[in-house]
Amino acid sequence: MNGGGIVPVMSFALNIEHLNKSFGSHAAVKDLSLSVERGEIFGLLGPNGAGKSTTINMICGVSRIDSGTVSVFGHDSQKHCQHARRLTGVMHQEVVTDAFFTIDKALKMHPGFFGVKSDPDWRQLLIERLDLSEHLHKPMNYLSGGMKRRFMLAKALIHKPRLLILDEPTAGVDIELRHTIWSFIREINQHDTTILLTTHYLEEAEQMCRRIAIMNSGQLIALDTTQALLNHLDTRQITLILDQPLNTVPHWLSVRSATLSPDGRQITVALTADETVCAFLQQCHTHALPVLDLETTSPNLEEVFLHLTRGDNSGEVLS
């Protein structure tokens, strides 16, 4: 279930096979398999408690793997954990640095944890691009929520990882910082850093990610290109604005469950999977419907997500 065609294993930035994790009797991640291609921006979505953070914690070695394998650019995270860790940068949801460290000290020390030599030019670039200069000598517990997010992103990138994992990077940040974060992440991605991200902002996932995996109750329930997921819901609708009001829906449209607005000036109907707007308008012309204008609407990722993660679709698997 890879969505987007067969890809040689060597081009995977991340390969997860049959991953499992339980806390006591609760299975948080169940037989998860997926691959992230080199250079992708890949979204891992799911409702609260779906198992996303647990998966991320296993990828980066914070949490022990019960069974299954994770490999980062071909390095098995259990057998060659140092290689895999060095290639991976993680922006966790919470600040995981000593509260008394300053930004400056943390960014200087962090590369050493991965056996990577500190690069002052790269550190300076991150400080400037993430607007950290004024706050360099403040300890962590003096930083605002937004400043902590900026620092967490700089810390995730300071050892120049080739796989960057972002666990809800924009949770609770203002619109300006959100733009800063996403535009910087796009830039980083263009310089050959693969991105795996989780977010509850589905509009952001729709805009950022080439492919998306959706988890629910620890299991993978969908994995495909963003566009294919959007195409999954056949809910394109067309609304006709009429030149003259109607009292009732014409028969040829009522059999398609079209609805008429109270003022009789708008008719809304769902288009079928391969029906074009042009073909539909030809039918309107044939039936002498006085069409003045029209609007079309397509499903967004939020509708697809809700459709897939609601209880009544829990058995559905998309690939």
Ligand X SMILES: Nc1ncnc2c1ncn2[C@@H]1O[C@H](COP(=O)(O)OP(=O)(O)OP(=O)(O)O)[C@@H](O)[C@H]1O
Using CB under 6 A as the criterion, which residues of the chain lie in contact with ligand X when the complex forms? 23, 26, 28, 46, 48-54
Q: Of the candidates 90, 94, 67, 115, which has an alpha carbon nearest to the alpha carbon of residue 14? A: 90
Could you tell me where the DSSP H helices lie in the chain?
52-59, 81-86, 103-113, 120-129, 145-157, 175-190, 202-208, 226-232, 251-254, 277-286, 301-309
**Cβ pair 291, 281 in contact under 8 A:** yes
Nearest-approach distance from CB 161 to ligand X, in angstroms:
21
Q: State which residue, 3 or 51, has the beta carbon closest to ligand X.
A: 51
Nearest-approach distance from CB 313 to ligand X, in angstroms:
18
Burial class (CB in 10 A: 0-12, 13-18, 19+), 196: buried
SS3 158: coil
- Terminal CA-CA length for the chain: 5
Nearest-approach distance from CB 122 to ligand X, in angstroms:
30
Q: State which residue, 7 or 62, has the beta carbon closest to ligand X.
A: 62
d(CA 57, CA 62): 5
Q: State which residue, 4 or 49, has the beta carbon closest to ligand X.
A: 49
Q: State which residue, 18 or 285, has the beta carbon closest to ligand X.
A: 18
Q: What is the DSSP letter of 169?
A: T
Nearest-approach distance from CB 27 to ligand X, in angstroms:
9
Instruction: Read off the tokens for 44.
Output: 């891992």
Q: State which residue, 37 or 168, has the beta carbon closest to ligand X.
A: 168
**Cβ pair 262, 269 in contact under 8 A:** no
Residue type for 178, please? R
Nearest-approach distance from CB 55 to ligand X, in angstroms:
7
Q: State which residue, 50 or 240, has the beta carbon closest to ligand X.
A: 50
Instruction: Read off the tokens for 241.
Output: 């604005």
Nearest-approach distance from CB 53 to ligand X, in angstroms:
3
Q: Of the candidates 36, 24, 93, 85, which has an alpha carbon nearest to the alpha carbon of residue 58? A: 85
Q: State which residue, 189 or 219, has the beta carbon closest to ligand X.
A: 219
SS3 310: coil
d(CA 294, CA 52): 41
Q: State which residue, 26 or 191, has the beta carbon closest to ligand X.
A: 26
Nearest-approach distance from CB 8 to ligand X, in angstroms:
30
Nearest-approach distance from CB 68 to ligand X, in angstroms:
15
Query: CA 179 → CA 45, 61, 185, 210, 241, distances in Å?
Result: 20, 30, 10, 19, 37
